[in-house]
Amino acid sequence: MDGTGPPTDALALGQRVVAVLETGARTATYKLATLSALVGFCVEHLPADPAAALDVPIDALAERVIDLYWPQVRPFDGHRLRQSSQPKARILTAVEVLRGAANAGGVVGLSIARLRMPDLYREAVAEVALTLAQQPLYRLQRLPGGRGEPFLYDDSWLHSGITRAAIARHGGVIRLFPGVAAALARLSGLLTPTLEILWVQDVRRYNAFLDEDVPDIAGHLFGRDRVSLAKPRVALREAFGTQCFYCATSLSDGNPVDHVLPWSRVPLDGLANLVLACGGCNTDKRDSLPALAHTERALSRDRTVLEQLAADIGWPTQYDRTLAAARGLYRSSPPGTPTWQGRSRTGTWDTVFPPGWVVSTVPETGFT
């Protein structure tokens, strides 16, 4: 690799991302969060043409970064977890303010907080977006001392003193080089867990008390059961009956609520990504990508029913995001990728897509 311009192949790009992360002395987890947000955005906005460039609104990255830190700012063993070796923590403070206000009446997820307090939510996004532009975004692709050519996007206009007005003059977006979005989406299954491992290591380093008895810090930072799914469980039972979505077995009370697209790949808690499952199917499926037929069936549930349920219980459907994420995950999976078909049966990636999946109809910004 000659170091100029983006690598054309996904593996080379992934190696370069990991090299930058490993070489640069990380003094905070913000780079990891930004990269993770970028990968998630690419999955949901996979261009139809794999060689295309992609504009990524910095506000959309900020929303994803807030989502990542949302569970992480809650106290761990009575401690506020440090995410940096520096005392200043603008991103964490912004998330804490929003979370504190949103959780006054009980713990809720970020998508609920956004519905309930749109003004505070917008303030938090604006603050985090500015911080991203001033810090991690212009350092993300560089080695220590600012060395190295950008290979993900042009960052020459970003710097630590950039203002909101200057960001707006650039359209509020970073433009990924041609082919980068498709490569990052394709690498998401490798990069996402890698970033989480590095993140856990960093948090241990910044918080000396964690070394002593090795509590489950990974579960605290990235656990999937951070939000109670009791409300969706009741609503889904009433609307769709009490059978397991996958094997049709009759469900007892308190059955698992399953994320159709695995939480470890796309953290979507909206009704469009939730189904009722028996304990057997839920445990067997774990973090697997389900066979396309399951996902199609989940997404072909009556959308007006889902929207009505969502309105009744004050919970988002995230229908467009779930559809976009599904399209991104399946289309960027290489042939032969195993998918989960049913209990104790693992099939392989299906190459047939519903026609609507090929055309991007989802908005470029915002959470639904």
Task: Find, among 59, 88, 94, the residue nearest to 73 by Cα.
Answer: 94
Closest CB to Zn ion among residues 246, 367? 246
CB of 347 to Zn ion, least distance (A): 16
Positive or negative torsion for Cα 122, 128, 131, 136: negative
CB of 243 to Zn ion, least distance (A): 8
Interface characters, 91-130, with Zn ion (x: CB under 5 A): ----------------------------------------
Residue for token pair 């990924």: 176
Closest CB to Zn ion among residues 294, 327? 294
Contacts of 346 (CB under 8 A, 6+ apart): 288, 338, 339, 340
Number of residues that bind Zn ion (CB under 5 A): 6
Q: Does 244 bind Zn ion (CB under 5 A)?
A: yes
Q: Does 246 bind Zn ion (CB under 5 A)?
A: yes
Closest CB to Zn ion among residues 247, 358? 247
Beta-bridge partner residues of 55: 175
Stretch touching Zn ion by CB under 5 A, among 64-72, 147-155, 243-251, 268-276:
243-251
As given in the structure block, the two tokens for residue 225 are 């059961």
Closest CB to Zn ion among residues 263, 353? 263
**Alpha carbons 13 and 55: distance in angstroms, whole number:** 18
Stretch touching Zn ion by CB under 5 A, among 8-16, 129-137, 239-247, 356-364:
239-247
Residue for token pair 């020459």: 156
Q: Supply the Cα-derived Rg of the chain in whole angstroms.
A: 20
The three-class DSSP label of residue 143 is: strand
Closest CB to Zn ion among residues 163, 283? 283
Stretch touching Zn ion by CB under 5 A, among 33-41, 136-144, 221-229, 236-244:
236-244
CB of 278 to Zn ion, least distance (A): 3
Positive or negative torsion for Cα 44, 45, 51, 56: negative
Strand duo 173-176 + 54-57: pairing: antiparallel
Stretch touching Zn ion by CB under 5 A, among 192-200, 246-254, 286-294, 301-309:
246-254
**Hey, which residues between 278 and 297 contact Zn ion (CB under 5 A)?**
278, 281
**Alpha carbons 34 and 31: distance in angstroms, whole number:** 5
Stretch touching Zn ion by CB under 5 A, among 203-211, 238-246, 266-274, 317-325:
238-246
Closest CB to Zn ion among residues 121, 246? 246
CB of 274 to Zn ion, least distance (A): 15
Per the CB < 8 A criterion, the answer to whether 162 and 133 are in contact is yes
Interface characters, 262-281, with Zn ion (x: CB under 5 A): ----------------x--x
Residue for token pair 């690598």: 7
> Within a 10 A sphere around the Cβ of 124, how many other Cβ atoms?
27
Stretch touching Zn ion by CB under 5 A, among 163-171, 240-248, 297-305, 312-320:
240-248
> Within a 10 A sphere around the Cβ of 156, how many other Cβ atoms?
8
Closest CB to Zn ion among residues 100, 241? 241
CB of 319 to Zn ion, least distance (A): 24
Q: Does 181 bind Zn ion (CB under 5 A)?
A: no
Closest CB to Zn ion among residues 176, 276? 276
**Alpha carbons 81 and 195: distance in angstroms, whole number:** 18
CB of 281 to Zn ion, least distance (A): 3
**Alpha carbons 63 and 118: distance in angstroms, whole number:** 13
**Alpha carbons 45 and 47: distance in angstroms, whole number:** 6
**Alpha carbons 136 and 142: distance in angstroms, whole number:** 10
Closest CB to Zn ion among residues 50, 280? 280
Q: What are the residues binding Zn ion (CB under 5 A)?
A: 244, 246-247, 249, 278, 281
